[in-house]
């Protein structure tokens, strides 16, 4: 028998290990099972190298609950350890990592600490977070069959005991005596949930419990001549030892990718739009599958859906700092041992390996989108409404992605036609320029609400884009800054003739300055001057007498501020311009009306203009409806 004291320099190390992360204590199972899988894989490697010549036998890692003894046991048939190796790896090396971990933990958030615990050689000691005693029974593959194994026991104090113990097979059993305040880890449903979360794709079979399976009874049939079946209890293997992302892409059918998506997201019944298989081993190691999900609601960003693995062990579904933010809208799996986990997010963003991995994934995503666009443009256009938010987000956030995406970025007009950026520039460059020679991109954000403005623009031979996405205000600002020689203007942000003004087409007004001032004052006596101001334009006689105009810059700033949660612009009240067409007979004729007729006409014009923009509400709307009925 050997007794001793682990090399403890600080008395509070064990309490920190046991209690440091109560909300995240479930990671102990990830660590212990991962150790068992590592030990098994090492044996397979030694066997393939000829250093182990015995029978491998059953290499299944087994997880067992004994509620009466209040134990949770993880068994493997891997390389095992001699008593000297237990002393070295458990009493010395592993615990030296504990001291380092305690120092590191002081500067980490709880979530960060949960991810780094195994990187300090502390995986085994994580068992003390849920146990009041831990026993380790092991026997090395190098030992003869008649040799005894070793049992190491510790109750969470710095003191431990080591004894010989009869053990027939090689491998290691880790027995956790679960503490009363962690009794939920003795529940089968809880352990199955955690094994599915952390160990679902480990490369060695993980057995937990049994399940009933229907098997055909050979040579027996029922009255209808059908083979008889019987219920057989079989071990339940909870993991897929060959996850799809580890296979060669050339060997996988599209249906397999779709099926695997539903394994990852069993509650998502939508089939993804397409996938990208990642597989690179230099200058870093990375495998994975990324999916473009079908977004049910264009205003719904589904982040934290990418699962990060390290050698098939689940680590986290938060990849902030590892991938650009726009890529976090994708779903799927990335698996890499080259992503450092024992560091802060700010460190990750400056880590050269992470930068290379991030750049590689961004490049692969862009290449996939370009490939789909070139291969079948019609099919690509059908998917556009689902992927446009992602592409716009990437172009706003990442200059390199912008350059790549220019080739497959699409603009859709109000007729449902799609154009690349270059195609649309050619479409409008002859007809939609202002007097300064800048291209004017007219757009609508709501085809129904802005219908009259759209039709007015089309009647003059102009094309109107439909930009009704949540990011479009940001995106068009990005395009204006990038290209410089263009401006985007919503069709109701100014009179079309003002937006696309040609010097030779300037028109004279039917009203002189004095008459305009009279009409303006008459309007100002009726309108809400806190929200509206009055201006004149000199349009055609057939153009509308009154238009409600909202300043493009102010409206766009409010939209972007509201999305970003900022109050500087978002908190400002809406302001509009009531644009009077001085050449329309109704406006020009106001100067000849008596005061009462003038007032009634202005009231009707004002209400009609507001109604066209869905701004007439409440009492004003009710009075307008009554007045209109009375005039029938």
* Residue ranges for the chain with pLDDT beneath 50: 8-12, 21-23, 97-98, 101, 111, 114-121, 299, 343, 503-505, 569-570
User: Would you list the domain boundaries of the chain?
Assistant: 2-208, 244-385, 409-506, 514-547+575-632
Cα angle: 452, vertex 454, 457; to 5 degrees = 110
C-alpha span between 272 and 331 (Å, rounded): 9
Query: What pTM was estimated for this model as a whole?
Result: 0.79
**pLDDT reported for residue 227:** 85
**pLDDT reported for residue 118:** 44
**pLDDT reported for residue 392:** 94
CATH topology of domain 2-208: Heat Shock Protein 90 (3.30.565)
**pLDDT reported for residue 270:** 86
Contact between 312 and 202 (Cβ < 8 Å): yes
- By CB atoms closer than 10 A (0-12, 13-18, 19+), residue 330 is buried
**pLDDT reported for residue 211:** 86
Instruction: Reply yes or no on domain 409-506 having CATH 3.30.70.100.
Output: no
**pLDDT reported for residue 149:** 96
CATH topology of domain 244-385: Ribosomal Protein S5; domain 2 (3.30.230)
**pLDDT reported for residue 12:** 47
**pLDDT reported for residue 612:** 82
- Around Cβ 19, how many Cβ atoms within 10 Å? 12
C-alpha span between 142 and 596 (Å, rounded): 109
226 DSSP 8-state letter: P
Q: What residues have CB less than 8 Å from 298, skipping those under 6 apart?
A: 385, 389, 469, 470
CA distances from 402 to 153, 320, 394 (A): 59, 21, 7
**pLDDT reported for residue 185:** 97
Place of tokens 């182990």: 52
**pLDDT reported for residue 175:** 98
The SS3 of residue 520 is helix
C-alpha span between 598 and 213 (Å, rounded): 87
**pLDDT reported for residue 494:** 77
Tokens of 353: 């390996």
C-alpha span between 134 and 179 (Å, rounded): 11
- Cα of first residue to Cα of last residue in the chain, in angstroms, is 107
């Amino acid at each position: 028998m050997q007794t001793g004291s682990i090399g403890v320099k600080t008395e509070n190390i064990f309490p920190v290990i046991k209690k440091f992360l109560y909300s995240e204590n479930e990671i102990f199972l990830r660590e212990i099972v991962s150790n068992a899988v590592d030990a098994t894989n090492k044996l397979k490697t030694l066997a393939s190298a000829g250093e182990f010549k015995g029978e491998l036998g059953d290499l299944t890692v087994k997880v067992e609950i004994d509620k009466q003894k209040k134990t949770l046991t993880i068994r493997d048939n891997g390389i095992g350890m001699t008593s000297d190796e237990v002393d070295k790896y458990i009493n010395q090396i592993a615990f030296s990592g504990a001291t380092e971990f305690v120092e590191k933990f002081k500067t980490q958030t709880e979530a960060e600490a949960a991810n780094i615990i195994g990187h300090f050689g502390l995986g085994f000691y994580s068992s003390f977070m849920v146990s009041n005693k831990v026993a380790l029974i092991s026997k090395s593959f190098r030992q003869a069959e008649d040799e005894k194994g070793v049992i190491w026991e510790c109750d969470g104090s710095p003191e431990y005991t080591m004894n010989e113990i009869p053990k027939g097979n090689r491998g290691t059993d880790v027995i956790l005596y679960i503490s009363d305040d962690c009794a939920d880890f003795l529940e089968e449903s809880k352990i199955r949930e955690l094994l599915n979360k952390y160990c679902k794709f480990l490369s060695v079979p993980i057995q937990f419990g049994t399940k009933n399976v229907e098997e055909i009874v050979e040579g027996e049939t029922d009255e209808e001549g059908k083979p008889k079946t019987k219920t057989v209890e079989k071990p339940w293997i909870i993991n897929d030892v060959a996850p799809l992302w580890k296979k060669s892409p050339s060997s996988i059918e599209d249906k397999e990718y779709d099926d695997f998506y539903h394994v990852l997201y069993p509650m998502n019944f939508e089939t993804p739009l397409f996938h990208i298989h990642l597989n690179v081993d230099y200058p870093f190691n990375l495998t994975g599958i990324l999916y473009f999900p079908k977004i049910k609601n264009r205003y719904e960003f589904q982040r934290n859906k990418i699962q990060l693995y390290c050698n098939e062990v689940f680590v986290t579904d938060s990849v902030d700092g590892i991938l650009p933010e726009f890529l976090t809208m994708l779903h799927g799996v990335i698996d890499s041992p080259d992503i450092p986990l024992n560091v802060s997010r700010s460190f990750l963003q400056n880590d050269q390996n992470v930068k290379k991995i991030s750049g590689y994934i961004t490049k692969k995503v862009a290449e996939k989108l370009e490939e789909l666009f070139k291969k079948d443009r019609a099919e690509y256009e059908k998917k556009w409404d689902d992927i446009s938010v992602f592409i716009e987000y990437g172009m706003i956030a990442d200059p390199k992605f912008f350059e790549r995406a220019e080739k497959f970025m699409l603009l859709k007009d109000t007729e449902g036609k799609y154009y690349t950026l270059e195609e649309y520039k050619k479409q409008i460059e002859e007809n939609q320029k202002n007097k300064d020679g800048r291209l004017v991109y007219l757009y609508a954000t709501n085809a129904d609400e802005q219908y009259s403005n759209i039709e007015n623009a089309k009647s003059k031979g102009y094309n109107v884009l439909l930009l009704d996405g949540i990011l479009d205000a940001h995106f068009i600002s990005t395009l204006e800054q990038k290209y410089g020689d263009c401006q985007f203007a919503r069709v109701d942000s100014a009179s079309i003739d003002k937006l696309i003004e040609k010097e030779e087409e300037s028109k004279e007004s039917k009203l002189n300055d004095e008459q305009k001032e009279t009409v303006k004052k008459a309007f100002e006596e009726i309108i809400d001057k806190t929200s509206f101001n009055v201006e004149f334009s000199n349009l055609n006689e057939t153009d509308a007498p009154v238009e409600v105009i909202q300043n493009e810059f102010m409206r766009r700033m409010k939209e972007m501020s509201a999305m970003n949660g900022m109050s500087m612009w978002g908190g400002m009240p809406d302001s509009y311009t009531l644009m009077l067409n001085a050449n329309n007979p109704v406006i020009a004729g106001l100067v000849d009306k008596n005061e009462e007729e003038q007032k009634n006409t202005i009231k009707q014009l004002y209400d009609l203009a507001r109604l066209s923009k869905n701004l007439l509400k409440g009492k004003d709307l009710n009075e307008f409806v009554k007045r209109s009925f009375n005039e029938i």
